[in-house]
């Protein structure tokens, strides 16, 4: 790790056009009035960091479930998974990770498995930290089927500022733990629904790092120190 690498992170290709737009506006602002130009520089740097896509050290081991998003745990409660995933009417433990506009917004698979179902539903753009955002807001849901027959739901939820949910996976596709599967632009939330009997190992207010922070451990397996860079 170099000093330069500490501050300069890779950027997701989705951000190229936005950084270019911010940079062009910044040039116009400098032409109009220099102080406005420096404000534009600050916003351009923010845009670059919003779309950053740093490598993560993904913990390896049977049953380890990692956070799908950077952010803060905003809710831990029982709720029924989205009906489009076909997981039944029973409430499961739901862990919500709220991402503000300064977090990295690339989403990662919480655990290895096969995408058994997906579903997009348009909706509102309420503050993503609110409980009702899980029901009312625009969302994209996916169900990860595990080899032992259990299922985990991951739901990308648009927020007050977010206006586009992106994903680049499809039903039947296999995923590795920590693998990138989507992105939400400008403030949002990701919910994870745990299998029955699994207790989250995080607390409300805890800061999460996508692909690295252990959210829960399935069965009796314990997190291992072995990791890989993803």
**Catalytically annotated residues:** 188
Distance, CA of 115 to CA of 176 (rounded, Å) = 11
Q: Spell out the residues 6+ positions from residue 130 whose beta carbon is closer than 8 angstroms to its own.
A: none
Q: Residues 103, 129: contact at Cβ < 8 Å? A: no
Handedness of CA 11, 13, 18, 20 (dihedral sign): positive
Of the candidates 152, 213, 140, 145, the one whose C-alpha atom is nearest the C-alpha of residue 183 is 140
Q: Which helix (H) or strand (E) holds 32?
A: helix 16-32
Of the candidates 119, 115, 151, the one whose C-alpha atom is nearest the C-alpha of residue 138 is 119
């Amino acid at each position: 790790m170099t000093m330069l690498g500490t501050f300069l992170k890779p950027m997701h290709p989705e951000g190229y056009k936005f950084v270019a737009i911010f940079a062009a506006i910044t040039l116009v602002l400098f032409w109009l009035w220099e102080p406005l130009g420096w404000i534009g520089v600050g916003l351009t740097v923010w845009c670059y960091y919003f779309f950053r896509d740093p490598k993560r050290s993904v913990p390896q081991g049977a049953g380890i479930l990692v956070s799908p998003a950077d952010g803060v745990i905003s809710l831990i409660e029982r709720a029924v998974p989205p009906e489009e995933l076909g997981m039944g009417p029973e409430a499961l433990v739901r862990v919500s990770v709220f991402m503000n506009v300064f977090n990295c917004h690339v989403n990662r698979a919480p655990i290895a498995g096969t995408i058994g179902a997906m579903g997009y539903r348009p909706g509102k753009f309420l503050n993503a930290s609110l409980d009702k955002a899980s029901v009312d807001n625009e969302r994209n849901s996916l169900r990860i089927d595990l080899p032992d027959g259990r299922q985990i739901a991951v739901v990308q939820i648009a927020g007050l500022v977010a206006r586009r949910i992106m994903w680049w996976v499809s039903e039947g596709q296999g995923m590795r733990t920590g693998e990138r599967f989507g992105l939400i632009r400008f403030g949002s939330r990701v919910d994870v629904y745990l299998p029955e009997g699994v207790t989250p190992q995080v607390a409300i207010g805890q800061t999460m790092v996508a692909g690295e922070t252990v959210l829960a451990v399935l069965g009796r397996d314990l997190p291992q120190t072995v990791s890989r860079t993803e």
